[in-house]
Amino acid sequence: MFLRFYAALALLFCVCFIAYDWAYPLLWWESALSAEESRRHSGEGLREVAAELSEQEATAAGDRLLAAASDLLESADIALQPSYELIEYSILENKDMSLTLDQRRRLMAGEYLVTERSSPDSWSVQTAIPDKNMTLEAVFKEQGDGGSFYSWLAGYVVLYLSLLAVVLYLLLASVKRPLRESISQVSAALRRINGLFNGPTGPVQSAEEPAELLKQASTVERHIAREKESRARHYDDLRDLLHGVAHEFRSPMARISFALDLADDETTKTAPDAENIRTLHQEISGALDELSGLVKEVLSYSRLEHGRGDLQCEPVAVMDVVEEILAKQRKMHPQVEFVTPAEPSTQEIQVWADRRLFSRALVNLIRNAARFADHSVRISWRLTDTHFEIQVDDDGPGVPPGKRQRVFEPFTRLDPSRSRDSGGAGLGLAIVKSISMLHGGTVSVTDSRQGGACFTLCWPKEPTQ
């Protein structure tokens, strides 16, 4: 709508300027003819005036007049004007002129006088005729076409602006159609997305204006926000359910354990099938221990995710914790070589942490590496100005790049090569991530120089707010 209005206005400007540009030469020619006629009459008057003077007097008066006119046209007052023409000559008796004493003195001294006449844009130049008590006067007037340059310039500016408006209109018209098609396509996609949230909405009607597109995008944004909130509530509900189920498992597990203890008495040992009973007892006891470990893991993860309990942070000696963990892991995995750097200064490294949770995070990392290592696990660390980093490398199958974020999600198991007879519930690394986040730290996994996975735990040295 606005484009059509501006285009019509631009065309109107073009028509007006063309008419002006066509008529202006005629007006200028008429003005030139009038000026020429005025000069002709002025020339006749000059001849009449010159007839009253002798040749010598006329020559002297003419020279003075030309000098006066030249100085006049070069002066600031006249030079700033566009153009002047000589329109009148006359010879005046000195006694008939209204001059001051100073003006008369200047004329008698051979100077000339320049005065502004009463008529607009006209000036007179007066010079005395020697020995005649007479004065020769020439009148100059501004030409009628003095402002023609500015009019011409303004006209062409209007023309160029009008042409620019027309070109812009044509460009916008050429862009408008594909832009409208793009808006329609995006609008159709947004309406289909709305249909996923609200069900079938009938035939898809695409928007043709940006305002309608923004409205549909806002609707989709609200749907996504509601869906995100719904998923968050669902996740919280599942987490609460998991915590409740794990907690409820503890009572029947305790009764099963008590029953197993009762069954393992002297009468069972002397029974004919005592060997089978002992084998069954060991299998049930092993399954019960595994289930008990699973329940503990679930409860630990649930408490960490809910943020239950306050952190009991204190300075923790890193090397003491590492040696304590490695002593147990060497017994559990005698086939794996655990390597640590031999640096005396490591005894002095301390971090600010909850000792129990810090130890739990390191246990999970080292135990995870030992489960999947082929021959060795290397533990190394370094200290920066603000953080303590500990790295656990193994020479196992490693973690594919596309799954390095998923490995820290709860109940996540990768391909069989990293879960062969490893036990666990897939919560160990998720617990490490939760513990590190509670302390303001991070955990990540990359490729190890030993060929397997390299887990890096970054821990702040000082307490976090």
Q: Phi and psi for 377 in degrees, rounded to 5?
A: -130, 130
Condensed to tens digits (0 to 9), the pLDDT of residues 178-225 reads: 666 666 666 666 666 666 555 544 444 444 455 666 666 677 677 677
The predicted model gives 390-394 an average pLDDT of: 93
Above 70 in pLDDT, residue 14? no
Choice between 337 and 156, residue whose per-residue pLDDT is larger: 337
Fold of 313-460: Heat Shock Protein 90 (3.30.565)
| pLDDT value, residue 7 | 57
| pLDDT value, residue 405 | 87
The residues of the chain that CATH labels 1.10.287 are 209-309
Helix (H, G, I), strand (E, B) or coil at 440: coil
The predicted model gives 376-382 an average pLDDT of: 91
The predicted model gives 377-389 an average pLDDT of: 88
Q: Report the alpha-carbon distance of residue 413 to residue 425 in Å, rounded.
A: 9
The residues of the chain that CATH labels 3.30.565.10 are 313-460
Above 50 in pLDDT, residue 38? no
Percent of the chain whose predicted confidence (pLDDT) is above 70: 46
For every residue of 66-82, DSSP letters joined together read HHHHHHHHHSHHHHTSS
What is each CA distance from 30 to 84, 99, 251, in whole angstroms? Answer: 17, 38, 118
Q: Report the alpha-carbon distance of residue 258 to residue 330 in Å, rounded.
A: 31
Strand segments (E) across 103-222: 112-116, 122-129, 134-142
What is the CATH architecture of 209-309?
A: Orthogonal Bundle (1.10)
Condensed to tens digits (0 to 9), the pLDDT of residues 344-368 reads: 454 578 888 888 889 989 999 999 9
* Cα–chain center distance at 173: 29
| pLDDT value, residue 418 | 45
Above 80 in pLDDT, residue 5? no
| pLDDT value, residue 69 | 55
Condensed to tens digits (0 to 9), the pLDDT of residues 279-295 reads: 777 777 776 776 776 66
pTM for this one? 0.46
Burial class for 209, CB neighbours closer than 10 Å (0-12, 13-18, 19+): exposed
Choice between 254 and 357, residue whose per-residue pLDDT is larger: 357
The pairs formed by 306-315 with CB atoms below 8 angstroms and a separation of 24 or more are 306/239, 306/243, 307/438, 311/353, 311/354, 311/357, 311/438, 311/439, 312/354, 312/355, 312/356, 313/352, 313/353, 313/354, 313/439, 313/463, 314/352, 314/353, 314/354, 314/355, 315/350, 315/351, 315/352
Count CB atoms within 10 A of the CB of residue 236.
12
User: What value does the mean pLDDT of the chain take?
Assistant: 70
What is the DSSP-derived secondary structure letter of residue 377? E
| pLDDT value, residue 454 | 94
| pLDDT value, residue 311 | 75
Above 70 in pLDDT, residue 301? no
Please report which confidence band the pLDDT of residue 245 belongs to, taking 50, 70 and 90 as the band edges: low
